[in-house]
């Protein structure tokens, strides 16, 4: 049973436009959410995180939005650049869950120039 779901396996966006990656979770005990980016032949690298006490966190071109009532979070990349092309993983954790990271299956983002 997948507790963290990324329902879009892939997304294609034009350079300069906004990329929106979505993630849904089912476990209400999750209280910390993260996005990781992964290039081929490399390990995932941490991108941005958000605590459940917030609904938005921004870091440069990257913004994560959290909607707790809908158990939904999204990552916005504005403007998208070709170097953003990678696999993006959403992850969730919670103290009640031992702080283990539970990952989604990932979304492949392709930014076309």
Partner 1 sequence: KAGVTQTPRYLIKTRGQQVTLSCSPISGHRSVSWYQQTPGQGLQFLFEYFSETQRNKGNFPGRFSGRQFSNSRSEMNVSTLELGDSALYLCASSLWGLTSTDTQYFGPGTRLTVL
Residues that bind partner 1 (CB under 8 A): 4, 6, 32, 36, 41-46, 49, 51, 89, 91, 93, 98-106
CB 3 within 8 A of CB 27: yes
Query: Which lies closer to partner 1 via its Cβ, residue 36 or residue 77?
Result: 36
Shortest distance, position 15 Cβ to partner 1, whole Å: 27
The alpha-carbon radius of gyration of the chain (Å, integer) is: 13
Closest to partner 1 by CB, 40 vs 83, is 40
CB 56, min distance to partner 1, A = 17
Shortest separation between residue 8's beta carbon and partner 1, angstroms: 13
């Amino acid at each position: 049973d997948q507790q963290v779901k990324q329902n879009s396996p892939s997304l294609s966006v034009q350079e300069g436009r906004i990329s929106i990656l979505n993630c849904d979770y089912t476990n209400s005990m999750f209280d910390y959410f993260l996005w990781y980016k992964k290039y081929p032949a490399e390990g995932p690298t941490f991108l941005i995180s958000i605590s459940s006490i917030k609904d938005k966190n921004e870091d440069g071109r990257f913004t994560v939005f959290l909607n707790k009532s809908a158990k939904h979070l999204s990552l916005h990349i504005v403007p998208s650049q070709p170097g953003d092309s990678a696999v993006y993983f959403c992850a969730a954790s919670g103290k009640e869950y031992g702080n283990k990271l539970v990952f989604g299956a990932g979304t492949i983002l392709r930014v076309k120039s």
